[in-house]
Amino acid sequence: MKTLKLIFFSRNVLLSASAALLLFSLTSCAKKVVFLTSSVVPAARGQVTVKKDNNNNFAIKIKIDNLAEAKRLEPSKNTYVVWMETDESMVKNIGQIQSNNPFMSSKLKATFETVTAFKPKKIFITAEDNSDAQYPGNQFVLETKRF
């Protein structure tokens, strides 16, 4: 009887350990990287989360706090553009954060989400006159280190 209890106890411990390992491995796939302190908008803070999905694409999520409106910058700009440097050293415009959209609240919070087939190595945000810019301007607002 004691042997039977020991077998069930061992099996439950092994099953629990396996479940914990599986859960840890699923959550560890996402990479979180914080933005470096900005000289353009020093109060701005944010983080980037990159996660590979089931289709081998990369889901990118950005959360930013204390991001001033682009029109308040010196010189004034119209929008923030999010850029990605790929593992092949290509720079791609992956979208915009519009400072006049409803998702940017009075608390100066913004979020951005996109999916790309390219593996990101660095994410950065510039202030631009047009959201369809082909190359980043020289007004870097936030950027990450390479990851």
Residue spans of the domains in the chain: they are 30-143
Question: Looking at the domain that runs over 30-143, which CATH code has it been given?
Answer: 2.60.40
Inform me whether the pLDDT recorded for 100 exceeds 50: no
Model confidence pLDDT, tens digit, residues 109-124: 899 999 999 999 999 9
- E strands of the chain, at which residues? 31-34, 45-52, 58-65, 79-86, 91-97, 110-116, 120-128, 140-143
Helix, strand, coil percentages for the chain (3-state, nearest 5): 20, 35, 45
Average pLDDT over residues 2-15: 59
Cα separation of 52 and 54, whole Å?
Answer: 7
Tokens of 62: 């950005």
- Whole-prediction pTM: 0.77
Model confidence pLDDT, tens digit, residues 30-76: 899 999 999 999 999 999 999 999 999 999 999 999 999 899 999 99
